[in-house]
Each structure stands twice: as C-alpha cells, then as structure tokens.
C-alpha cells in the first residue's frame, strides 16, 4: 500500500517519517521545499501536486492548518480530487470545522472515494514518538481499512461516529485543554503571589484529583519559562474559533470557551501568537505582576 502525505508542518513531518519507519511507501507534498527535502532524505518520494499524489497512492493523508487549506488541497485546482479514483481513501488528519469535513467528503464521494476525518491530539512530542490520540469520524469500513496505518501514528485510535465526528471530538478536546491550561495558570499565579513555591504546589497536587496530563506537560514549561511551541497559541485560537462557530450553529452556549478565547486573543496582541499555549500563564502573570517560575 502506497501512502500520500500532504502537509509537512510541525505535526505532519514527524508523522510522515513514522510511516516510513513502519515500512510504508510514502509520497509527500508540501509547498515548502525544506521539509519535503528532509522527508525525502528519510526515504520518501516527492509528489508534484495533490493531483499527482492522488494518482499514484492508495491512501491520501492531509495534515494542514485549517478548513480553507484542506479544501484547497483536496478540492482546488491541482488538488487531490483531480487525480483520485474510486476505491481509494482520503484521511484528513487536520483539525478543521466538522461541517468542512462533511462538505469535502460529499465531494470526493461522487468519485467513489471514501473519506474519514481523523484529527489528533498530543502536539509535536507525541507526533515524533508516534503516540498521538487519534479521533476518527467516517465510514466504518474505510476506518478499518486505514486503522493499521493510523496505529503507526498513535496509541489511541478511536472512531466516534460518521464523517465530522472526529472533528467534533477534537473540538471537545481543545476546549478541555484550553480551559485546563487556563485553570492551571490561574491557580499557580495565585500560589506564587501568595509566596508559595509553585514547584512545591505542583508536586503536592499532581497526584490528586487536580492532576492531569495537561498539568504534567505544561507546568514544567511554565516553571522553566519555556514557551517554545509544541502547539502554538494561534493554532489553538483557530480551534476555539471552530468550536465557537460550531456551538453557535447548534445553539450550545460555551461561555468558558469564549472567555479563554479572549485570553488567547490578548496574548496574540502581546506578540505571543507563535508561543506554546502554556504561555496562557503569562496573561495571569501580567495581571498579577508576578512570574510563575522555579525558585532556588
């Protein structure tokens, strides 16, 4: 089975490399030449376009920033839809609006092509080590056909429903992650301002009910003042905008999501759009005039 991979950004590049390590033939395409060169050097072949990838591969995976990028790559000029044929499968692993997944699926279905949406969670570190959580929506038969591929990219691969369900699940995930980071930031800013060593607070509570994967991953970054992106604030803003749009279309109130969205927008205005989302703590630090850092 030959796999086409479109989009070699922070997440896509290590994911494509993991497929190579698993023994798959992989053809890659990206508008940026540097990551293409790197993955080709690791054993992939280079495709000339989305159309070229679709003509030569059995499964086409896309990993792109947002809905417009996925639509352009699949449905646009020179895109996947121009080269793909019946019986092949499109796997969009981008985090996009559920409605966009459904729209793209309807278009490729007219050519006899199945599509699943399979967004991921875990950021760059888990993309590198192949331990992503993958949330899948789409036809069950198509899911079973590509599941062995997805299992080379993640340790949790769960189908949650029909097309679009994967991205609904991802929106739920992103709401929980954002609110968790905000809660952690607020709490540790309070502890620091009160004169209590935040590292001691972390060690004291991480094993209790307040403990979480998010806290374990993000508090050490806060304590080190390390906001190198594993997942950028600007991308989380994109996800929360999709969550807000979807919620409003369904008449679901999401006031906490709206609140943390405004926090992230403030950080963006402060020039932190490309920082890791753990930099949410800097919003609280600025208000409280204190820094949550390791203490001697």
Residues tagged active-site = 170
Residues in the chain: 296
Q: What CA–CA distance (Å, rounded) separates 30 from 28?
A: 7
Of 24, 9, 44, 8, give the one whose Cα is nearest residue 150.
24
Cα distance between residue 257 and residue 194, in whole Å: 28
Backbone phi, psi, residue 6, to 5°: -115, 120
3-state secondary structure of 161: strand
Phi and psi at residue 273, to the nearest 5°? -60, -35
End-to-end CA distance of the chain: 55
Residues 19 and 42: beta-carbon distance below 8 Å: no
């Amino acid at each position: 089975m030959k796999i086409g991979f479109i989009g070699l950004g922070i997440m896509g590049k290590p994911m494509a490399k993991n497929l190579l390590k698993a023994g798959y033939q992989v053809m890659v395409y990206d508008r940026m030449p540097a990551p293409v060169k790197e993955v080709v050097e690791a054993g992939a072949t280079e495709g000339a376009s989305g159309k070229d990838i679709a003509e030569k591969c059995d499964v086409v995976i896309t990993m792109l920033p947002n809905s417009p990028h996925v639509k352009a790559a699949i449905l646009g000029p020179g895109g996947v839809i121009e080269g793909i044929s019946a019986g092949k499968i499109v796997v969009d692993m981008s985090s996009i609006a559920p409605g966009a997944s459904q729209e793209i699926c309807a278009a490729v279905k007219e050519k006899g092509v199945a599509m699943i949406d399979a967004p991921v969670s875990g950021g760059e570190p888990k993309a590198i080590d192949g331990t992503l959580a993958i949330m899948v929506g789409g036809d069950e038969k198509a899911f079973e056909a590509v599941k062995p591929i997805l299992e080379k990219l993640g340790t949790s691969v769960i189908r949650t429903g029909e097309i679009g369900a994967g991205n609904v699940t991802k929106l739920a995930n992103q709401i929980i992650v954002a609110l968790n980071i905000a809660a952690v930031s607020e709490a540790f800013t309070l502890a620091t301002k009160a004169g209590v060593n935040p590292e001691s607070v972390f060690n004291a509570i991480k094993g209790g009910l307040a403990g979480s994967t998010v806290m374990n991953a993000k508090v050490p970054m806060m304590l080190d003042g390390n906001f190198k992106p594993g997942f950028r604030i600007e991308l989380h803003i994109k996800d929360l905008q999709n969550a807000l749009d979807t919620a409003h279309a369904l008449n679901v109130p999401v006031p906490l999501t709206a609140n943390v969205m405004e926090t992230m927008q403030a950080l963006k205005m402060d020039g932190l759009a490309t920082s890791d989302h753990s930099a949410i703590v800097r919003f609280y630090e600025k208000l409280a005039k204190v820094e949550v850092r390791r203490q001697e």
